[in-house]
Structure 1
Amino acid sequence: MPSPTAHAETSSPGWWRYLAITPHQQIDVEDGFADEHGTPNTDMPSMRMSFFFESTATGSRFRSVTRLHSLDAMEQLVAMGMMEGMRSAMSQIDDVLADLTTFAAERGTHAQLLNDTTVRVSRVVRGTPAQVWRAHQEPACIQRWLTGPDGWTMPVCEVAKAVGDRYRYEWASADGAQRFGFEGALLESHAPHRAVTTEQMVGTDGPATRNELTLVPVQGGTLLCIVITYPSTELRNMILGTGMTVGMEASYARLEQELAAA
């Protein structure tokens, strides 16, 4: 990720190493510089950054503490524009949160292009994160709601239960004339808020997408976001052109009905 020591008009590649996470309270990372390929630059100083999060009567208070190995290292980074870079980064937090609020207000399934290969799909689902998470884990439940447009069924639903496990989903048209599926591996799982998987069409050898699912509580339900990174712009455009979000909206509407019945 770009280093906070960069001036607004320049680019400075860097890296983060997560050291400790206390959910909703604190994140500790080691931060350093890198070359254009992501290789750490050992000629430049690294630092330890601690981020603190506190609830207030009107929102949240965010506090960042940076520790360097020496006074010389601090003076070097300050001279390079570290303070200006951090102020610029922090000033964008409200805009990011407002962006998420916009997604929540829209209610329906919405896709936003983040860059040439990445898409963020979002929808507010009426239910708690724990309920939505569970609906993504139980095969019998998944087969009732994750069926896309009317007229399709989900005869195969093999769920990955632990990191490293593989999953496989297959769909079939009601008349049996059409059938397709996706499979992949579970890379990360942090119930009930985040899961990362790979995904590729069954029977193909092409590169997989990377899908990052997050569930965040919001007023009225849970903000479900899936950030999908495709191997190429061409594949991204082809998948979006199939009406992907229309099928996803039909599934999420069905999911809400499932949660309401439960």
Structure 2
Amino acid sequence: MSNPLNLSAPAGEPSMDYSREFDFPVSDVFRAHTDPELFARWIGPQDLTTRIDVFEPRTGGAYRFVQCRGEDEYAFRGAFHALRQDDFVLQTFEFEGYPDVVTLEYSTFTELPGGRTLLTGRSLYPSVESRDEFLGNGMEEGMSSGYNQLDDLLASLPTEAPEGRE
């Protein structure tokens, strides 16, 4: 059973906070967020396929990916403003279908006992209305589906040995 996504969108505030636990080490969860091949395998709803056009997970880097369902395509882009290995990502996020609605997203990766991870995040929107529009278009379900796929992906990957051990 997957861990639940906890999402909070306070009334009257143009923000959203979320958290999700993973039964995998921080290094694996962080890698799945910053490795383009892994990212494409889990992001978004299960019925979408993802193509990565640009993915430069470094301070000052950019990204763009396109998700497809049949003939329909949904493109997303942004910039990485700060990355700290296995700890923190600060980036912008824009759905090209809603131009001029750019969010600022913070993600923190925290080690939990037993080799587990707590992912916490905050998204800041330009308005309450833009946040509510994303939520109304299934964002929470898409995030939950993506994180469930991330669980499955991480379970299928070999874990990296700690430095200095084979």
2:23 to 120, 126, 130: 126
Alpha-carbon separation, structure 2, partners of 1:247 and 1:227: 16
Bigger Cα displacement from structure 2, 110-119 vs 248-257: 110-119
Number of matched residues? 154
Percent identity between the aligned chains?
27
Matches within 5 A, 1:105-254: 107-114=3-10, 116-146=13-43, 148-173=44-69, 175-176=70-71, 178-202=72-96, 205-219=99-113, 221-254=116-149
Shift of 1:236: 0.7
- Structure 2: stretches of 5+ with no match in the other structure: 158-166
Provide TM-score, normalisation by structure 2: 0.85
SS in 1 for 2:13: coil
Structure having greater relative contact order (Cα 8 Å, sep ≥ 6): 2
Hey, what does 1:10 align to over in structure 2? none
Alpha-carbon separation, structure 2, partners of 1:145 and 1:208: 22
Alpha-carbon separation, structure 1, partners of 2:98 and 2:3: 34
Shift of 1:204: 5.1
Shift of 1:157: 4.7
8 Å CA contact 2:79, 2:92 repeated in 1: yes
Show structure 1 runs of 4+ deviating over 3 A. none
RMSD of aligned alpha carbons? 1.8
Letter matched to residue 208 of structure 1: V
Alpha-carbon separation, structure 1, partners of 2:53 and 2:29: 17
Alpha-carbon separation, structure 2, partners of 1:113 and 1:204: 20
8 Å CA contact 1:196, 1:213 repeated in 2: yes
Alpha-carbon separation, structure 1, partners of 2:86 and 2:46: 29
Letter matched to residue 95 of structure 2: M
SS in 1 for 2:34: coil
Letter matched to residue 137 of structure 1: T
